[in-house]
C-alpha cells in the first residue's frame, strides 16, 4: 500500500505515503512520514471528480485548499491538527497529526454503547471543539461517530474529517452541486436545502450522543426516505439510555434552530453532570431581539368574534415567552406538518431532491412523544376526558348536535362545519390559535412546541403537556385508534399500567377515551398519568391529550377538560 512500482510514493517532495489506514466518501487517508521533520503524520488524499471540466476542477482544488487552510488555523486540543496543505499532480492533500486510536464508531461496534458519564465527557469535549471552530468561522457539517477519534491510552477526544467543512462567507462546491453528509446525523434545516449555521452541527451532536448511549442513531431507518421522514417529521424519541442526559439531548434535537440548545449551555450542562451526577435544567437563553407580533400573546375581548379572514390575520399564537422567529425552512416544515398527507408529500419531495442531488446508498453505510408514543395517525398523547366528566364532554348516548353542559357557546355541533369563531378562555387561560388549524384554551405561561404532526403546549419545566393531533380518519374509527394505541402502550411507554379505553361521544360525534399511568421517560421525571380523547368530525380525526405527574392529576384533569371543551377547528 502506498507504493508505486515497489517504491513508496512521496508527495510535495516531503511526505512519504506508507499504508492506507482509512477510506471514505471524502478521500483516502494514509499513514505517512514527514521526511523533513522525521515525524509520523496522516495524509488525506482528496478524490478528483472526473466529470468536471478543467476549469471547474481547478476551482474545486482552490476551494479545497483554501478551506483546509482555514481549518489549519484552528488551535484546540479536541480538533485535529492540520500541519500542511499541499498539491501534487493537480490533486490536493491535507497533512494532519496521526492519532493512535480508532473512531468512536469503531469503539461502539467493538465494545457497545458507553455509559452516561463517558457520553457526557465526549459530548462536552466535542462542544468545546465546535465552539472554537464556529468562532473561527468554520462549520463542520458532518458530525458523526466515524469522525470522532479517541486516542489510545489518554482517551483524548478529537474531532476530525473537516472534509466537507464550510468557511463562513465561502461557497463550497458540495453546497452548489450535491447534498453531502450523513442523513442520520443531518439537521432538518439542512435537509430543506437552505443555507445553515452552527446550529446544524449541534443537532448532529445530539444525534451522536444518542448513538453513543444506545448504539444507534434515533433516526436510523431501513431506507433513505424513512430517515428523511424521521428527521423532518416523525416524533423524536431519545433512547431510554439517554435519560440521565435527557435535557441536553432534547435541547440539541430541537427542530427549530432558533430554540435549539447552544454550545455554551450544552457544554455547561454536561460538565455539571460530570461534576454532580445530575444534569441541571436549561437556563433561559439570553438573546437580544426586536419583538414582533408573532412573539406577543394573543389578546381578544371576552366575546366571540367571527374571523372570515383569520388566515391573513397577523396574530398567530406563539409561546408567551419570546423566542426568535423561526427560519424560512422551519416555517416551511411546520406548514407541511399540518396534515399527514402533506407530511408524506414533504418526505417524498425530500427523497426526490436528495436523489437528484446525488445522494447514494453509500451514505447510509456511515451511519417518543409524551404519553403514548404512537407514530401512526392517531398516535396522540394523553389527555382525554372520561365519560361523564364535568368538562362538558358528552357521555355515550348524548343526542347528536346537543351541546353538553358546560360546553362553549359557538362551538360546532354535529353535522355543522367548523366556523371561524374562537372559544372564550376561562380565567387563568389564554386562547391559542394554532397555525396547524385549530384553537383551544391553554393555561397562561404554556409555550408551543411542535413535534412532527403533533403540537404540544407545555408548562415551564414540562410538568404539564397538552398535545393535539389532527389527521385523516383511520379504520375502526376513534375506538379502533385508541385500542391499537393501548395495545402498543407497554412497548412505547415505560412502565405502562392501568390502561383502559372507553367508547364515548364528543359533541355528538363518535369518540374514545384512553387513560393510563406510566413511569415517564426518566427516573427524574417520575410516574405520570395521561388522559387522551380521540374523536371524528367533519372528515377529520382529532386527538387531544394531557400528561402530568401522578401527584398533579386533578390539575391535569382540569387542563384536559378545558382543552377538550374549548377545542375548535379553524
Cell 375502526 identifies what position?
476
- List the helix and strand counts (H, then E) for the chain: 14, 21
**Is 90 in a helix, a strand, or coil?**
coil
Given 34, 49, 106, 142, the catalytic residue: 142
Residues counted in the chain: 570
DSSP state of 406: T
| Catalytic-residue membership of 142 | yes
* Number of other CB atoms surrounding residue 396 within 10 Å: 12
Q: Tell me the chain's radius of gyration from C-alpha atoms.
A: 27
Name which of 266, 307, 563 is nearest 439 in CA terms.
563
DSSP β-bridge partners for residue 32: 17, 41
Consecutive H or E run containing 533: strand 528-537
CA–CA gap between residue 28 and residue 181 (Å, rounded)? 17
Strands (E) in 125-183, as ranges, are 138-139, 148-150, 157-159, 166-167
In angstroms, the Cα distances linking 166 to 139, 197, 256, 485 are 5, 10, 21, 44
Record the cell numbers describing residue 141, joined without a space.
457539517
Q: In this structure, are residues 29 and 20 in contact, taking their beta carbons and an 8 Å threshold?
A: yes
CA–CA gap between residue 172 and residue 64 (Å, rounded)? 8
CA–CA gap between residue 294 and residue 317 (Å, rounded)? 7
DSSP β-bridge partners for residue 544: 468, 533
Is 483 exposed, middle or buried (CB count within 10 Å of its CB: 0-12, 13-18, 19+)? middle
162 contacts: CB under 8 Å, gap ≥ 6:
67, 68, 71, 80, 133, 138, 140
3-state helix/strand/coil string of 119-139: HHHHHHHHHHHHHHHHHCCEE
Q: β-strands 15-24, 7-11: how paired?
A: antiparallel
Active-site residue list = 142
Amino acid at each position: 500500500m502506498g507504493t508505486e512500482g515497489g517504491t513508496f510514493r512521496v508527495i510535495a517532495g516531503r511526505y512519504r505515503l506508507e499504508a492506507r489506514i482509512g477510506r471514505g466518501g471524502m478521500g483516502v487517508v494514509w499513514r505517512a512520514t514527514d521526511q523533513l521533520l522525521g515525524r509520523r503524520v496522516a495524509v488525506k488524499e482528496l478524490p478528483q471528480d472526473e466529470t468536471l471540466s478543467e476549469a471547474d476542477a481547478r476551482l474545486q482544488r482552490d476551494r479545497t485548499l483554501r478551506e483546509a487552510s482555514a481549518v489549519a488555523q484552528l488551535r484546540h486540543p479536541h480538533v485535529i491538527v492540520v500541519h500542511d496543505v499541499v498539491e501534487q499532480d493537480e490533486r490536493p492533500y491535507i497533512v494532519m497529526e496521526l492519532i493512535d486510536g480508532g473512531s468512536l464508531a469503531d469503539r461502539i461496534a467493538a465494545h457497545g454503547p458507553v455509559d452516561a458519564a463517558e457520553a457526557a465527557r465526549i459530548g462536552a469535549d466535542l462542544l468545546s471543539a465546535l465552539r472554537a471552530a464556529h468562532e473561527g468561522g468554520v462549520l463542520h457539517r458532518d458530525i458523526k461517530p466515524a469522525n470522532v477519534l479517541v486516542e489510545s491510552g489518554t482517551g483524548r477526544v478529537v474531532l476530525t474529517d473537516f472534509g466537507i467543512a464550510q468557511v463562513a462567507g465561502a461557497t463550497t462546491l458540495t453546497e452548489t452541486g450535491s447534498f453531502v453528509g450523513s442523513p442520520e446525523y443531518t439537521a432538518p434545516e439542512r435537509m430543506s436545502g437552505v443555507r445553515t449555521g452552527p446550529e446544524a452541527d449541534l443537532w448532529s451532536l445530539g444525534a451522536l450522543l444518542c448513538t453513543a448511549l444506545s448504539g444507534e442513531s434515533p433516526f436510523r431507518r431501513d431506507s433513505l426516505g424513512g430517515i428523511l421522514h424521521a428527521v423532518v417529521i416523525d416524533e423524536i424519541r431519545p433512547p431510554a439510555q439517554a435519560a440521565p442526559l435527557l435535557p441536553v439531548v432534547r435541547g440539541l434535537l430541537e427542530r427549530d434552530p432558533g430554540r435549539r440548545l447552544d454550545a455554551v449551555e450544552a457544554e455547561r450542562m454536561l460538565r455539571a453532570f460530570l461534576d454532580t451526577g445530575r444534569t441541571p435544567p436549561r437556563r433561559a437563553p439570553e438573546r437580544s431581539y426586536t419583538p414582533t407580533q408573532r412573539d406577543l400573546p394573543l389578546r381578544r375581548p371576552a366575546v366571540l368574534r367571527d374571523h372570515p379572514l383569520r388566515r391573513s390575520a397577523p396574530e398567530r399564537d406563539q409561546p408567551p415567552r419570546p423566542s426568535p422567529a423561526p427560519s424560512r425552512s422551519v416555517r416551511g416544515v411546520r406548514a407541511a406538518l399540518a396534515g399527514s398527507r402533506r407530511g408524506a408529500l414533504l418526505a417524498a419531495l425530500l427523497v426526490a431532491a436528495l436523489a437528484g442531488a446525488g445522494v447514494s446508498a453509500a451514505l447510509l453505510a456511515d451511519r417518543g412523544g409524551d404519553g403514548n408514543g404512537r407514530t401512526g395517525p392517531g398516535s396522540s398523547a394523553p389527555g382525554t376526558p372520561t365519560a361523564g366528566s364535568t368538562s362538558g364532554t358528552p357521555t355515550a348516548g348524548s343526542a347528536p348536535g346537543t351541546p353538553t353542559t358546560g360546553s362553549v357557546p359557538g362551538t360546532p355541533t354535529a353535522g355543522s362545519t367548523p366556523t371561524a369563531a374562537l372559544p372564550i378562555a376561562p380565567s387563568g387561560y389564554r386562547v391559542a390559535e394554532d397555525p396547524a388549524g385549530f384553537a383551544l384554551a391553554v393555561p397562561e405561561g404554556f409555550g408551543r412546541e411542535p413535534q412532527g404532526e403533533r403540537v404540544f403546549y407545555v408548562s415551564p419545566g414540562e410538568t404539564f403537556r397538552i398535545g393535539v393531533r389532527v389527521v385523516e380518519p383511520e379504520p375502526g374509527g376513534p375506538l379502533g385508534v385508541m385500542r391499537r394505541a393501548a395495545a402498543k402502550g407497554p412497548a412505547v411507554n415505560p412502565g405502562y399500567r392501568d390502561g383502559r379505553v372507553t367508547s364515548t361521544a364528543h359533541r355528538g360525534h363518535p369518540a374514545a377515551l384512553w387513560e393510563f399511568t406510566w413511569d415517564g421517560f426518566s427516573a427524574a421525571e417520575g410516574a405520570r398519568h395521561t388522559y387522551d380523547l380521540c374523536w371524528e368530525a367533519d372528515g377529520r380525526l382529532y386527538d387531544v391529550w394531557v400528561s402530568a405527574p401522578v401527584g398533579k392529576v386533578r390539575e391535569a384533569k382540569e387542563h384536559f377538560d378545558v382543552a377538550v371543551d374549548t377545542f375548535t377547528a379553524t
